[in-house]
Structure 1
Amino acid sequence: MLAGRSPHIAVRNEWLAQEKEEILFPDMPILDSHHHLWDRPGHRYLFDELLGDTRQGHNIQATVFVQSRSMYNIDLPDDLLRPVGEVEFANGVAAQSASGLYGSFRACAGIVGSCDLMARDRLEAVLDRVMAVGGDRFRGVRNQTAWHEDPSIATNPVPPVKGVLLEPAFRDGARRLGARGLTLDVWAYHTQLDEFENLARFCPETTIILDHLGGPLGAGPYRGRRDEVLVDWRASMAKIAELPNVCVKLGGLAMGAGGFDFHLADHPPASEMLAAAWEPYISFAIERFGAHRCMFESNFPVDKGMVSYRSLWNAFKRLTEGASASEKRDLFFLTAARVYKLGIEPKGEF
């Protein structure tokens, strides 16, 4: 695909408005561990849009903002420094949310920004700058790493570099994050999980969060091969689960690369349908990693092209109906709060 063209499924608010599910367990506290904010041609998702989704009935108490290639500061002198603007922007949204004008909801309570881990000798200075503007909300870094040779598999407007997870400079940068007490989020497809495992073993002191369930693919050359992909994905995830420095985000399955194609139907998917489709992945991850190393995420607005915020969280609740209160507490709130060192506790019962 061409650099700059959005690979995301278009959000159709009129289509989503057909979904009017009753909220399951509306009092359950939730910390949304992964969402984005941006203002791009044809697609705006800023605080007002986030607020509209989080106020649909689920008890969303806080969120974590994750690197979005958004609001870079073009007045800064070079490409290494310009992502500082995104962290500054997210911290401003967090300050807006913390003003008291919007109730107790705390958007961007944690911020995962962008800092090029290949920066070598300049990395420490760039991290100093990012941490200064992020204040006590800045918690970690994510780079663009999800790569596949097939151009039909794309989830980044700007294609990442092949094999970056194995690059010595990147691995050194990942170690430096751990030394500073910062986390590393990694978005990789299931075809890259061997590289991810190698990286995680190289950086045992760095807490690494595997985004979007390790990206089991279902589009392009993997269409019609879901059972085969599931076997490969499970084998890789089982090995990664042995590494105590790795946590996993449960979500991101409504991207086009996953191949579920819910967006092609006349009506948005109900939570029962989502739960049935995603159960083989989410149940396996929880079983292998344990609830204390798993956290649910919305991945909005990316996943919003295929599902509503209401049915998404209803699906996660359906998938955990048999879990204990302690497990739900971890999955929906405490794992994210602990991993990102947010210093907040859920208000309400599970």
Structure 2
Amino acid sequence: MQVVDPHIHLWDLKTHHYPWLANPQTSFVGDARELKHDYLLGDLLKDAEGIEVLKLVHVDANHDPADPVEETRWLQGIAEGVGRGMPNGIVAGADLSADNAEAVLEAHAAFANTRGIRQILNVHANPLYDYVGRHYMHDAAWRRNFGLLKRHAMSFDLQLYPSQMSDAAALAREHHETQFIVNHAGMFVDRSSVQGYRAWRDGMRALATCENVAVKISGLAMFDHAWTVESFRPYVLETIDAFGCERAMFASNFPVDRLFASYGALWNAYASIVGDASASEKDALFRRNAERIYRI
């Protein structure tokens, strides 16, 4: 199987600081203590044995917020050295509410493989699920600096919960020239009620009305630790139904999803779910969309 993987993370704990791995905790996504070890490009490719990985997109690994550009510098060095081009695209970290946001974006943009920015936006009333405790999309400085992405032709990886999707759709319409990519199929975390399902379904469909919004089908194992192909199936198919095969793409979220699945098991599960899709649809979902959307 040939894939372009548009959502992976690497880290070197010997040379870089990742606050969440310095003091790892157990949360709904699993036990981060099991991730407190170096995870380098060679480790990923070893995990991917049996899957032909053509290209990779690295998404910020919550590197030291005091120096987010150092992560991009490190990754570009890998791409120009032992990675032989990989990671082909870099989605860098930046706090768009910060006073130095413009300078940070300019510094990221200086690296050839930088394609976009991710700033985690997940806010939830339940402290178990809350990432940032702050509604960035309601912040005037954040929204003003968001407009700087267009200047650098940067995309924005949109990591949020269904309750935030209405605000995100409005943001996408306001910045219609910026490419948005929803992370982890919209992070459907409120799974115990009909209301929760409807919020996810309707929020995803609202985002899908914006032509500049695409989606990554990834991270499903974070919410379904004892997953099966059948437990993944409704979320995969509903996401594809909302966005169409031309704006959806599969991704691994490795090594985070490694807590609950092997690399091959995830990709083969996706392949099984869309087994009766056409050859062109499969090409789009597994390879072409990621190449086009991330310009790699």
Question: TM-score, with normalisation over the residues of structure 2?
Answer: 0.87
Which residue of the partner structure matches residue 207 of structure 2? 240
**1:166 positional shift:** 2.4
SS in 2 for 1:153: coil
Alignment of 1:126 onto 2:104: yes
RMSD: 1.9
Q: What SS does the aligned partner of 2:199 have?
A: helix
Whether the 8 Å CA contact 1:69–1:86 is kept in 2: the answer is no
> What amino acid maps onto 2:253 in structure 1?
N
Confirm or deny: 8 A CA contact 1:33 1:64 kept in the other structure. yes
Contact 2:122 2:132 in 1 (8 A): yes
C-alpha separation in 2, matches of 1:173 and 1:298: 30
The amino acid across from 1:57 in the alignment is G
Aligned partner of 2:58 in structure 1 is: 65
Give unpaired runs (5+ residues) of structure 1: 1-25, 74-78, 100-105, 263-268, 343-350
8 Å CA contact 1:190, 1:233 repeated in 2 = yes
Assess if the C-alpha contact under 8 Å between 1:179 and 1:205 holds in 2: no
Structure 1 partner of 2:124: 148
Q: Does 1:37 align with 2:10?
A: yes
Q: 1:172 aligns with which of 118, 121, 144?
A: 144
CA contact (8 A) 2:122 2:161 kept: yes
Identical positions, percent: 33
Give the partner amino acid of 1:63: L
1:94 has 2:94 as partner? no
Normalization by structure 1: what TM-score? 0.74
Deviation of residue 98 (structure 1)? 4.0
Q: Would the aligned equivalents of 1:187 and 1:211 in 2 still touch at CA under 8 Å? A: yes
Aligned mates of 1:165, 1:206 — CA distance in 2: 15
Tell me what 1:300 maps to.
254
The structure with the larger Rg is 1
**How far does residue 282 in structure 1 lie from its aligned partner after superposition?**
1.3
1:180 Cα deviation after fit: 2.1
Q: Any stretches of 5+ residues in structure 2 without a counterpart?
A: 14-20, 23-35
Assess if the C-alpha contact under 8 Å between 2:41 and 2:83 holds in 1: no
Structure 2 CA distance for aligned equivalents of residues 190 and 174 of structure 1:
21
Instruction: Provide the rounded CA distance (Å) in 2 between the counterparts of 1:91 and 1:197.
Output: 32
SS, match of residue 115 in structure 2: strand
Task: Give the superposition deviation at 1:339.
Answer: 1.0
**Equivalent pair of 2:205/2:242 in contact (CA under 8 Å):** yes
Other structure's SS at 2:249 match: strand
| Partner residue of 2:93 out of 107, 111, 114 | 114
Partner residue, 1:265 = none
| Aligned: 1:205 with 2:184 | no
